[in-house]
């Protein structure tokens, strides 16, 4: 709808999208989702389904782990997988806000480039950065996978459901390497 100046009216956002690979969900992600819900009311967690990218957990497993973690937040957190352009996904869920977490300055280069590309593609889509809590700033999905698959304790880095799923993956990998 146009306003009295003939410009298209942009509605305030009440839905934010938190996109990522989530291979797997970490405590850092959980914190960002909870803080984004407190601001926007509803967060759609967009799980990238990219068959070209080798992931430890399948797209279905990643979605299920996040859904289980936020089962108590129905109506405020939804979890949806997407493929293709992020900006198309954001518009498809009637949002115009992308949330990304920043752990360190080193994250900024890549994140700023992604935000600028997304704004070039669709100027109404805005990216909001939330800084990670200090206690989460060392956590990444890659580090968590590496430690867990080598038998290290990741219970302070991921929710209990994810720690259990990682331990299962480790057992499966060990069993399949014994068969070879």
Q: Which amino acids are annotated catalytic?
A: 29, 53, 103, 141
Q: How far apart are CA 102 and CA 116, in angstroms?
A: 16
Among residues 18, 19, 66, 157, the one that binds ligand PNS under rule CB under 6 A = 19
Give the x/- contact pattern for ligand PNS in 105-144, rule: CB under 6 A: ---------x--xx--------------------------
What single DSSP character describes residue 27? H
What single DSSP character describes residue 104? S
Say whether residue 21 binds ligand PNS (CB under 6 A). yes
Among residues 20, 28, 101, 159, the one that binds ligand PNS under rule CB under 6 A = 20
Q: Answer yes or no: are the C-beta atoms of 89 and 121 closer than 8 Å.
A: no
21 exposure class (CB count in 10 Å sphere: 0-12, 13-18, 19+) = middle
Q: Which residues in this chain contact ligand PNS in the complex, by CB under 6 A?
A: 19-21, 48, 85-86, 114, 117-118
């Amino acid at each position: 709808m146009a306003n009295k100046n003939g410009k298209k009216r942009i509605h305030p956002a009440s839905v934010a999208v938190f996109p990522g690979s989530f291979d797997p969900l970490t405590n850092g992600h959980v914190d960002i989702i909870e803080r984004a819900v407190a601001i926007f009311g509803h967060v759609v967690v967009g799980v990238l389904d990219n068959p070209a990218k080798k992931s430890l957990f399948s797209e279905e497993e990643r979605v299920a782990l996040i859904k289980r973690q936020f089962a108590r937040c129905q109506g405020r957190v939804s979890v949806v997988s997407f493929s293709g352009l992020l900006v198309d996904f954001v518009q498809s869920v009637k949002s115009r806000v992308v949330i990304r977490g920043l752990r360190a300055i080193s994250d900024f280069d890549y994140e700023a480039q992604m935000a600028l590309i997304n704004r070039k593609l669709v100027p109404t889509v805005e990216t909001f950065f939330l800084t990670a809590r200090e206690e989460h700033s060392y956590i990444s999905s890659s580090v968590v996978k590496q430690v867990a698959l080598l038998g290290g304790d990741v219970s302070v880095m991921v929710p209990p459901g994810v720690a259990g799923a990682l331990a299962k993956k480790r057992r499966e990998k060990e069993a399949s390497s014994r068969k070879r």
